Chain A
Amino acid sequence: MQQQKEQRSLRGLALQKARWSKANVRRHFPAAWRRCLCKPKPLRLVYWWIIRAFFIYAIISTWVDPRNKAGDVISSQEKITTELQLVAHLLCCCLWEVFQYFPKRRTFRWLPPYVQDFAAAISFMTAYGGKSLDLYAKWGWWDSFVHFAAGALIVAGGYEYFVARERKDGFTAPASIAIVYGLGISFLSGVCWELYEFLFDQVTGGSTQAWVFPGDWSKAYGLFAQTAHEADALRHERYGLLDTMTDIFMNSAGAVLSYFVLKIYPYLHKGKRAVRRAVA
């Protein structure tokens, strides 16, 4: 215990020393740049740039020819929101590089590069697949699938963040705490997303929670249609609750599945990658 505390204070002292000075800043940026180029494997870099290329293409094509899938010209407001969404998701695909420019005392700087593989995949599924290719409307199950995948991947992301914190601060905690931490973060994000959708609809008059019945929603709403009360299932006004509950349920299912996978194989708490080794 005492030894662990001493180690932590030594690390804290080292991090304090590494704060900004002119010489440090001069060294910091080239070092960060080198980390961005050398740390990820070449194939990983190629994968990231393929996804980024898709986003750049979508941004340019929306700007040059702002039409929806039906071929109608979209309004300028819709064009701007679509562009903003695509740019925000493109930034999500560059987060790891951004983190490398953070000072050493920031936990995000300690995240491994493969975390961005999953962030890029989620961004690609939601923004490019869902919005640009219009998969939400084409395939009713796409929204549920994205929620499921996001719920599962955020658990892994939370687990990675916890372990990065362990490495940075030089402490170790049981794997179960790290996994439950990831599970909590996943549920927190899922609920925050639904709250955002609700408030967005209230403020801007949008319909992200299916407040406005847009026509044939039988596909999107299908998941719980079989179990809904028969008389109520026909009422379009119910779609709002069914849509929200489907999202919440899929988030939860993904998170719980990921929890059990990590419980069976906590890859950062055993074997060669065990965090105890790195901290020691």
Chain B
Amino acid sequence: MTKERIRAHVKASFGRVFAEAKARPLRVLWWWIFRAIFVYGLVRHIKTNELEGTGFTDMLQIMAHMTCCFLWEFFQFLPRKHIFRWLPAYTQDVSCVYAVATCGGKIWNLYFKYHWWDSFMHALGGLLIVLAAYELLVALERRDNTELPRVVRVLFPVGLAFFAGTLWEVYEFFFDQITNGNTQDWTFETKPQIFGVLDREEDLLRRERYGLIDTMTDIIMNSAGAILGAVQLRLLPYHHRAGRGAAHKKTV
């Protein structure tokens, strides 16, 4: 890439971002509301907490989630050959809500207040990853001007949702091991969730078992969300419905 081409690329990328803002101002307003929530949360966290230990990791978590609200703009700066560049802007509407819900759960202590919150977020995460992967496939179809068969359009997103769910559990495990954290209920602070009631009686009394119950609950809820997403894609593949034309015929 020459200097001139880089300059033209950056200019065109900014052009796309501003064109979206001009065409759909309400959408951009929606994004900025969530970004404002994150900025408020970050400032409040810095003012009220010491930035050491968990205070510091919480701050990093807030910042990481905040970047989820800027992803679409970032993707616009990628070269044309990258699939992410072809993702539609409305994917960020959903990622903003999910980022606030997960991070908010941490900041407002929703995971401890409501025990169903964690399971709900896992199920929602599984569902949203399936839909995001479907959007990625559609982006690929548009980029390459091709059409993939239905089985790929359903199984690929489901596989990706399971991939992400598993990686999350592996991340939680290593996070606990390295930082002495408690994301997998090592320290028995929370109660077993849905599957506590199915548990054997003698095991239910052993708090040490909570770690496995918590992990399996997460995995089951992820899977349930992913399967729900797969059913939705099977019954209502919204980019490939008859009459609306195949995804590749539309332009981004």
Contacts and interface: CB of A to CB of B under 8 A. Distances in A.
Contacts, number: 115
Contacts of B198: 202
B167 interface: yes
A195 B173 CA distance: 18
Contacts of B144: 174
B200 to A, nearest CB: 7
B160 interface: yes
A188 B186 contact: no
A249 B173 contact: yes
Contact of B158 (A184, A227, A252): A184
A15 to B, nearest CB: 13
B215 A228 contact: no
B149 interface: yes
Given A229-B180, A244-B212, A195 B219 contact: yes
Given A181-B156, A205-B200, A241 B184 contact: yes
A185 B215 contact: no
B223 interface: yes
Interface in B134-149: 137, 140, 144-149
Contacts of A195: 216, 219-220, 223
Residue with the greatest number of chain A CB neighbours at <10 A, chosen from B146, B158, B222 = B146
A252 B166 contact: yes
B145 A1 contact: yes
B20 interface: no
A28 B170 CA distance: 48
A61 to B, nearest CB: 34
Contact of B212 (A173, A188, A240): A240
Nearest to A211: B203
Contacts of B146: 1, 4, 171-173
Interface string A205-242: 10001010000000000001001110010010110110
B32 interface: no
Given A181-B155, A232-B186, A191 B223 contact: yes
B172 to A, nearest CB: 9
Interface string A163-192: 001000101111001001101111110111
B211 interface: yes
A224 B173 CA distance: 10
A169 B145 CA distance: 17
B206 interface: yes
A248 B166 contact: yes
B151 interface: yes
A198 B216 contact: yes
Interface residues of B, number: 45
A65 B165 CA distance: 44
A134 interface: no
A188 B158 contact: yes
A238 B211 contact: yes
B201 to A, nearest CB: 11
A83 interface: no
Interface string B165-204: 1110110010001101000101000000001001110010
Contacts of B145: 1
B102 to A, nearest CB: 20
B209 to A, nearest CB: 6
Nearest to B214: A241
B155 A185 contact: yes
Given A171-B148, A171-B149, A237-B208, A181 B223 contact: no
A4 B186 CA distance: 55
B159 interface: yes
A165 B149 contact: yes
Contacts of B219: 191, 194-195
B118 to A, nearest CB: 16
A252 B155 contact: no
Contacts of A162: 152
Contact of B165 (A165, A191, A224, A245): A191
Contact of A237 (B140, B170, B177, B209): B209
Given A174-B144, A184-B163, A248-B170, 5 more contacts: A1-B145, A165-B149, A177-B148, A181-B155, A202-B199
Closest 8 CB pairs of A and B: A184-B159, A237-B208, A241-B211, A240-B212, A187-B163, A188-B162, A241-B212, A187-B162
